[in-house]
Structure 1
């Protein structure tokens, strides 16, 4: 019995020691000498000048970095982590941009084996979180992120959107949602839009927005699709999109495009984060990579976007009150919805 207790105690000590060692193991932090710091700053300044979507602002930021380097302001940044924090702060003072910064990572960028494994896209049903019916059968869809499109996510989107197809009104909640899946946002919009420009000639696909580079060239186009899995909600029934201060990226584009297309959706909540650009990341040292905003969104109707100012709600309210506000609006709209609106809703179904 005593021997068994001794063995158990020894094992416990070994496990505790291993756990403590793991918990206190320092993350990699690349040491930087003066020539390496100068190379990183000058190379980042060059990339900014050549790649950033806002040329004049990027040049000002690049010149500022070079001047700070010449004045010795980066002499005390002896590691990759500290240099990334300082450079990012200096960039934000001249060119505030969610996609333009110097990023430190706690692993060797040159060793693929050290890169963290991304979570499975299907783990949260591709961000398509929940459907339920509220008072008066108003549909409620909760989306937490907009991810990339593939066969599985397209099928999941069809099942998700079809749940709300027969509801007399719909609320889509993208509060706190983000992601860079602009193609997913366009796919989901396809279940909610029809061409309203003409009663005779209607396009099966609608052009929503583009991504444009610094030269004004279109690098990506986003359209609705007519080849959809599942039943559509349609382009006429009352539609509300909930947003807040944390709504960002593709979720903002989703809300903005629906708001601008013949006021298809009523946006309810607080102004969104204001992220309408797409960034490019490139390795610059063992543990540093540059991130630069290389394109901006351009809605085909407004020829503008929501950068910095965010998507502005049609009905301003706090994030916490947004759902109740939208539900009140939806129930009121159902009561006064004319018969012609119901007929149009039927016409928009596949």
Structure 2
């Protein structure tokens, strides 16, 4: 296990060279180095060290994707294996059914899809299509994102594509610091299941809904394509790379930022505000009452 000083130095190096807002890295580096010099981390290791450094990072820069994370799964420290956490993310998606927890047909011919992770648009396309095929003939749809903790931007765009008629909707842009480029995200031209058009869609959210789950919620809400029911989400809008700085410690560094084409902004730090605010545990019941008032 590297020393605490080495872990923090490696983490700061990743933040300084990769964080999407380089002008903020001077203050970040000064704050963490100051704590290190003062001995704030001297008696900490493992999860406790990660929690302390994360709290101090977010004290000076309240970006919820900027974190030091403990992982029980050992990580390779070999530079040739460095991929920003992509391989681990894809493996997790495979083990969790591409993020789709359940698909149901509820009373009143209302479809329900519970999503825990937003899959990639490549490996996840067939699973997303299978879920959408099962609800294709429902009269209304509920997307349960209350437990959705994140995922892939291109996967979020694919989920959103099902609710628009063609490939002519410019959903959002993502600016990437490392390449100094902006990538546009549009609705997909071809999908493996029918599009879900001209029927109501309600999205359920909680204070735990994060990142990719917020992307889907914010995008469909901004376009007037879905009503959001539940709690204001957690507020993390920056696509992020993960780098191993010790065998069991990762630093997560936001390397890009999302720009919604309707609002010109995103949900970073503020979350997605629901159209119908209710406690998360009441969100499904509330949505169903709105979708089937006669039942």
Tell me which interval the TM-score lies in, with the shorter structure as reference length: 0.7 to 0.9
CA RMSD of aligned residues (A): 3.1
Q: Offset at 1:279?
A: 1.9
8 Å Cα contact 2:164/2:195 also seen in 1: no
1:100 aligns with 2:62: no
Q: Offset at 1:274?
A: 0.9
Cα distance change of structure 1 residues 269 and 218 upon mapping to structure 2, 3 Å threshold = farther
Larger radius of gyration: 1
Q: 80-89 or 170-179: which moved more? A: 80-89
8 Å Cα contact 2:93/2:117 also seen in 1: no
Q: Which residue pairs with 1:53 in the alignment?
A: 20
Q: Which residue pairs with 1:228 in the alignment?
A: 191
Which deviations, in whole Å up to 9, do the C-alpha atoms of 1:26-68 show, x marking residues without a partner? xxxx252xxx72x554454444333212333332111112333
Q: Offset at 1:217?
A: 4.1
Please report the TM-score for the alignment, with normalisation by the length of structure 2.
0.83
Q: Which residue pairs with 1:317 in the alignment?
A: 278
Cα distance change of structure 1 residues 178 and 77 upon mapping to structure 2, 3 Å threshold = same
Q: Offset at 1:86?
A: 3.6
**Structure with the largest fraction of helix:** 1
Cα distance change of structure 1 residues 66 and 128 upon mapping to structure 2, 3 Å threshold = closer
Please report the TM-score for the alignment, with normalisation by the length of structure 1.
0.71
Report SS of the residue matched to 1:132.
strand
Q: Which residue pairs with 2:116 in the alignment?
A: 144
Give unpaired runs (5+ residues) of structure 1: 1-29, 195-202, 336-350
8 Å Cα contact 1:177/1:248 also seen in 2: yes
**Structure with the largest fraction of strand:** 2
Q: Offset at 1:80?
A: 6.4
1:178-257 to structure 2, matched below 5 A, reads 178-194=149-165, 204-214=167-177, 217-234=180-197, 236-257=198-219
1:132 aligns with 2:104: yes
Q: Which residue pairs with 1:6 in the alignment?
A: none
Structure 1: how far apart are the matches of 2:34 and 2:148? 39
Cα distance change of structure 1 residues 316 and 207 upon mapping to structure 2, 3 Å threshold = same
Which deviations, in whole Å up to 9, do the C-alpha atoms of 1:173-223 show, x marking residues without a partner? 1111123122222112121113xxxxxxxx633221222235994454322
Q: Which residue pairs with 1:271 in the alignment?
A: 232
Report SS of the residue matched to 1:211.
strand
Q: Offset at 1:316?
A: 0.6
Match of 2:57 among 83, 91, 102: 91
Q: Which residue pairs with 1:199 in the alignment?
A: none
Q: Which residue pairs with 1:161 in the alignment?
A: 132
Which deviations, in whole Å up to 9, do the C-alpha atoms of 1:7-37 show, x marking residues without a partner? xxxxxxxxxxxxxxxxxxxxxxx252xxx72
Report SS of the residue matched to 1:109.
coil
Report SS of the residue matched to 2:239.
strand
8 Å Cα contact 1:210/1:299 also seen in 2: yes
Structure 2: how far apart are the matches of 1:116 and 1:175? 23
8 Å Cα contact 2:148/2:208 also seen in 1: yes
1:285-300 to structure 2, matched below 5 A, reads 285=246, 288-300=249-261
Cα distance change of structure 1 residues 237 and 97 upon mapping to structure 2, 3 Å threshold = same
